[in-house]
Amino acid sequence: MEKVKLTSLVRSSGCNAKLPPGDLHAALDDLRQKKSEYLIEGFESSDDALVYDLADGRVLIETVDFFPPMVDDPEVFGEIAAANALSDIYAMGGEPKIAMSLMCFPSCLDIKIMRRIMEGAIRKTEEAGVVIAGGHTLSDREPKFGLAVTGFADKDSVWTNKGAKAGDSIVLTKKLGVGLLMTAHKAGETEAVEAIAQMRKLNKEAKENASGLEIHAATDVTGFSLIGHSYEAAYASGVSAVISFERLRYLEGAEEAARYGFVPEGRYTNEDYLQDKVSIPSDFSTAERDMLFSPETSGGLLLFMPPEDAAVYIKRFSDAFIIGHVVEKQDYPVIVTR
């Protein structure tokens, strides 16, 4: 089989390929939809998945996510795409159970590459206890892959992105900087080993370690950046999120990638949409702003929880770290400090 660089076939990659948030809101805001007494969560608050009441004490949680490759190895691409799609179920406090694949595949590529993408996805979903039970495939000029995932949860244990309260600690479970490093990786400037390993990591353990703790709001950090997803949760909750830049943890080399201009396109569309929704000190450098607004792929969970529960959580789950706190609603939904 001829070795093909998957990333050479695409203009954008990973969650950086998402539509700009401003365009998305322009298309979806005020869109008419049929109401259902059983639909607990739809797209109104930009939550991670829909939640449907099964009327037996349980809810069904449904999500879909797919994107172009950010790595050249087909199996690793399959693993990352699967981990990213599964994350939305974990971000709602649910347990994923079954999935269907979405594949766009160029007719010029060896069909064995498609098989290897699926093998990577199956390996990752098996790790999560999920079965891929079917899917849909299209011929396309650019390869793209992902999953539609169904999960379940007890109705009274669902997490949403609204409900954060003043006084809450804000906890993040993965380091930042994936978008910056993968842009440098595509340019041949870094192997991005740590970034690739982190994208392959499920958020299963991050979700499970919150068992018995009070989670007021939750989401995951992906294409709209840390600032974008913090804004969605703060706005939906009617509060402001104060984020300490000095508390953020970045993958090794991410700051250097920003300084040298390896910045994904999504960083600019994110800031265009968010610039009037976030307060950032005037002395922040361009590179520091790049770090705040750059897209992430298969990022960590962003959890809003009482300080005492946050302290227990970060002891249980050593990958997690506190990045800020919640205050009563201010002029800006997100406030960045040093």
Q: Which residues are catalytic?
A: 15
Q: List, as one string, the DSSP characters of 9-44.
A: G-SS-GGGGSPPHHHHHHHHTT------TTEEE-ST
45, amino acid identity: S
Residues in the chain: 338
CA–CA distance, 290 with 293 (Å, rounded to integer):
5
Q: Is 287 exposed, middle or buried (0-12, 13-18, 19+ CB in 10 A)?
A: middle
Question: Where are any strands of DSSP class E within 168-210?
Answer: 169-172
Residue 124 structure tokens: 């990752």
Place of tokens 């300080």: 307
Give the phi and the psi of residue 5 in degrees, each rounded to 5.
-85, 105
CA–CA distance, 303 with 308 (Å, rounded to integer):
13
Geometric angle at alpha carbon 259, from 257 and 262, rounded to 5°: 45
SS3 at position 167? coil
Q: Which residues contact 58 (CB under 8 A, 6 or more apart)?
A: 152, 153, 154, 155
Give the phi and the psi of residue 239 in degrees, each rounded to 5.
-135, -175
Place of tokens 């172009």: 68
Q: Do the beta carbons of residue 107 and residue 139 sit within 8 Å?
A: yes
Q: List, as one string, the DSSP characters of 175-210.
A: -B-HHHHHHHHHTTS---HHHHHHHHS-SHHHHHTT
CA–CA distance, 133 with 145 (Å, rounded to integer):
15
SS3 at position 79? helix
